[in-house]
């Protein structure tokens, strides 16, 4: 197993020659065109790291750089104590499950799973470095003799076929992975006889069976239905814990990120916004982007005026902050700040100057809870501030109702409007 270190990674895709302006030198792409910029990320040995971010932010590109399928433009990639910048993919001891998985169409599920294992061993034998698996399967006869035995006994009934220790080990690994992913009944089928979700699990199994130093997974559950997705999610986590394989898992689904990751790296527009544990991201987002991306429905934002020591004012309400905010807010006296409050941290309260008067525009009853889309009173249509609120499911609310919403004082967030950076409370008071 191994630690993976990404040091100051940049990636720029070279445009075609015809696209280059006459003045731009060969190989000196414009830095602003970089798809990935200044990526620093250390994934600990055995850690489950999730990369999350909106479509097009560079998640797949980063995985492809780590796997060696794309060249980095600048920076270093370490796997264990090896600098792998220029190593070809097969020498990196990394297995990747792609967003668009590809199975060998002419091979059964069993053969698809076994293929990766055989290839890994072959590569390690050729490079003179026996893999961990190869070392565990003691060899008693030369491989040419083994191959001959396998070929000549292949047509015989199963009990009489020759199976080398290596084939027995492959068989064991194929079955153990198939069992975990619930694809054992499918082992004899061809890929064309599988549903999309089944194919995806086979692709996942093929990567896992190889027992690499590092797994890279690019949205491996995107074709599964909700139930299978939740099941497979926990199977992957369980298996990863058992194997202790360093894993980098890409998704744009924040539930997946929150439930699977030891830590999550939130990306936007080619840059990492924050790296933290799931709950740290939820409770202490570093900036407005993270605050909005993590949590569903997303956090609400409102512009407010701040007056020292602790007063937030808005046309429609005046709110006194808890004292813990005083030291960090001193320098913002008289300025506009962005107040952030999650739907679950607003509640229906009594008429009061500190509460927000709103009108209900939409009611979404999910059974277990109800979400309201509301609009702050007084806000004109051109200055419409929609807010989302979560209320208990037994509260009867109808479209058009007027409500007063109370803010949970110790759950609110404040951001600098220009930079979007969070104004952080000292940790002990958070
Ligand atoms: N081979 C390529 N040549 C040029 N641009 C590319 C290439 N591959 C990706 N890009 C660009 O790089 C950016 C990041 O793409 P990437 O596939 O890494 O995004 P992603 O975060 O994986 O998105 P998604 O969630 O949709 O899969 C996109 O703007 C994309 O158009
Ligand atoms: Mg992608």
**Can you give the pLDDT at residue 146?**
76
Quickly count: other Cβ atoms within 10 Å of residue 212's Cβ.
24
160 vs 363 pLDDT, higher one: 363
Asked if residue 35 has its Cβ within 6 Å of ligand 1, the reply is yes
- Residue 375: inside a domain: yes
271: nearest Cα among 31, 80, 2, 4? 31
- Ligand minimally distant from the alpha carbon of residue 51: 1
Cα gap 300→61, rounded to integer Å: 31
- Residue 25: inside a domain: no
323: nearest Cα among 310, 337, 336? 310
CA 427 to chain centre: 26
Secondary structure in 3-state letters for the chain: CCCEEEEEEEECCCCCHHHCCCCCCCCCCCHHHCCEEEEEEEECCCCEEEEECCCCCCHHHHHHHHHCCCCCCEEEEEECCEECCCCCHHHCCEEEECCCCCCCCCCCHHHHHHHHHHHHHHHHHHCCCCCHHHHHCCCCCCHHHHHHHHHHHCCCCHHHCCCCHHHHHHHHHHHHHHHHCCCHHHCCCCHHHCCHHHHHHHHHHHHHHCCCCEEEEECCCCCCCHHHHHHHHHHHHHHHHHHCCEEEEEECCHHHHHHHCCEEEEEECCEEEEEECHHHHHHCCCEHHHHHHCCCCCCEEEEEEEECCCEEEECCEEEECCHHHHHHHHHHCCCEEEEEECHHHEEEECCCCCCEEEEEEEEEECCCEEEEEEEECCCCHHHCCEEEEEEECCCCCCCCCEEEEEECHHHCEEECCCCCEECCCCHHHC
30 vs 80 pLDDT, higher one: 80
CATH number of the domain where residue 346 is located:
2.40.50.140
Which residues lie closer than 8 Å to 425 by C-beta, 6 or more apart?
324, 325, 328
> What is the C-alpha R_g of the chain?
27
Mean pLDDT of the region 322-334: 95
- Residue 390: inside a domain: yes
Q: Per-residue confidence at 140, pLDDT binned at 50, 70, 90?
A: low
Alpha-carbon separation of residue 419 from 173, 404, 423 (angstroms): 51, 31, 11
Does the pLDDT at position 237 exceed 70?
A: yes
- Residue 421: inside a domain: yes
**Can you give the pLDDT at residue 318?**
96
Residue that is written with structure tokens 């068989």 in the block: 171
Does the pLDDT at position 136 exceed 60?
A: no
Does the pLDDT at position 130 exceed 60?
A: no
pLDDT tens, residue by residue, 20-47: 344 444 444 455 579 999 999 999 999 9
Q: What's the structural domain count of the chain? A: 1
- Residue 151: inside a domain: no
* CA–centroid distance, residue 188 to ligand 2 (Å): 31
* CA–centroid distance, residue 362 to ligand 2 (Å): 34
Mean pLDDT of the region 178-187: 89
427 burial (CB, 10 Å; 0-12 / 13-18 / 19+) is: exposed
Cα gap 287→414, rounded to integer Å: 9
By most ligand atoms within 8 Å of CB, the mutation choice from 61, 254, 269 for ligand 1 is 61
Asked if residue 72 has its Cβ within 6 Å of ligand 1, the reply is no
pLDDT tens, residue by residue, 268-316: 999 999 999 999 999 999 999 999 999 999 999 999 999 999 999 999 9
* CA–centroid distance, residue 107 to ligand 2 (Å): 27
Does the pLDDT at position 230 exceed 70?
A: yes
The residue whose C-alpha atom lies closest to atom 3 belonging to ligand 1 is 13
* CA–centroid distance, residue 195 to ligand 2 (Å): 22
With a pLDDT cut of 70, the percent of the chain lying above it is 89
With a pLDDT cut of 90, the percent of the chain lying above it is 61
Range of the domain at 363: 298-429
**Can you give the pLDDT at residue 25?**
42
- Residue 315: inside a domain: yes
- Residue 391: inside a domain: yes
Mean pLDDT of the region 199-228: 86
- Residue 285: inside a domain: no
């Amino acid at each position: 197993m191994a630690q993976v270190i990404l040091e100051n990674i940049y990636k720029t895709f070279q445009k075609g020659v015809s696209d280059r302006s006459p003045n731009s030198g060969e190989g000196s792409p414009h830095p602003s065109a970089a798809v990935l910029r200044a990526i620093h990320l250390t994934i600990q040995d055995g850690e489950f790291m999730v990369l999350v971010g909106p479509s097009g932010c560079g998640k797949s590109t980063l995985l492809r750089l780590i796997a060696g399928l794309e060249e980095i433009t600048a920076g270093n990639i370490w796997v264990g104590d090896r600098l792998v910048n220029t190593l070809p993919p097969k020498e990196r001891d990394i297995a990747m499950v792609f967003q668009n998985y590809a199975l060998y169409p002419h091979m059964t599920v069993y053969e698809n799973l076994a293929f990766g294992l055989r290839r890994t061993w072959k590569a390690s034998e050729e490079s003179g470095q026996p893999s961990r698996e190869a070392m565990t399967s003691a060899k008693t006869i030369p491989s040419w003799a083994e191959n001959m035995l396998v070929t000549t006994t292949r047509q015989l009934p199963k009990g009489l076929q020759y199976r080398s220790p290596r084939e027995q080990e492959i068989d064991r690994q194929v079955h153990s992975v198939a069992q975990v992913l619930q694809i054992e009944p499918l082992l004899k089928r061809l890929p064309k006889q599988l549903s999309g979700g089944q194919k995806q699990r086979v692709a996942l199994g093929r990567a896992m069976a190889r027992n690499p130093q590092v797994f890279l997974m690019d949205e491996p559950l995107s074709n599964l239905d909700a139930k299978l997705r939740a099941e497979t999610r926990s199977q992957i986590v369980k298996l990863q814990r058992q194997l202790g394989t360093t894993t980098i898992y890409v998704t744009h689904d924040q539930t997946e990120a929150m439930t699977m990751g030891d830590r999550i790296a939130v990306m936007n527009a080619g840059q990492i916004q924050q790296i933290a544990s799931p709950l740290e991201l939820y409770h202490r987002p570093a900036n407005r982007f993270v605050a909005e991306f993590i949590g569903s429905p997303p956090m609400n934002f409102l512009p407010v005026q701040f007056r020292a020591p602790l007063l937030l004012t808005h046309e429609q309400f005046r709110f006194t902050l808890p004292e813990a905010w005083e030291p960090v807010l001193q320098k913002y006296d008289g300025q506009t700040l962005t107040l952030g409050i999650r739907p679950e941290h607003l509640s229906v309260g009594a008429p009061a100057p500190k509460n927000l008067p709103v009108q209900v525009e939409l009611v979404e009853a999910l059974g277990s809870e109800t979400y309201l889309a509301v609009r702050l009173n007084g806000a004109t249509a051109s200055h419409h501030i929609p807010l989302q609120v979560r209320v208990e499911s037994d509260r009867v609310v109808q479209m058009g109702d007027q409500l007063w919403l109370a803010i949970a004082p110790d759950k609110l967030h404040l951001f600098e409007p220009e930079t979007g950076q969070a104004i952080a409370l000292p940790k002990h008071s958070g």
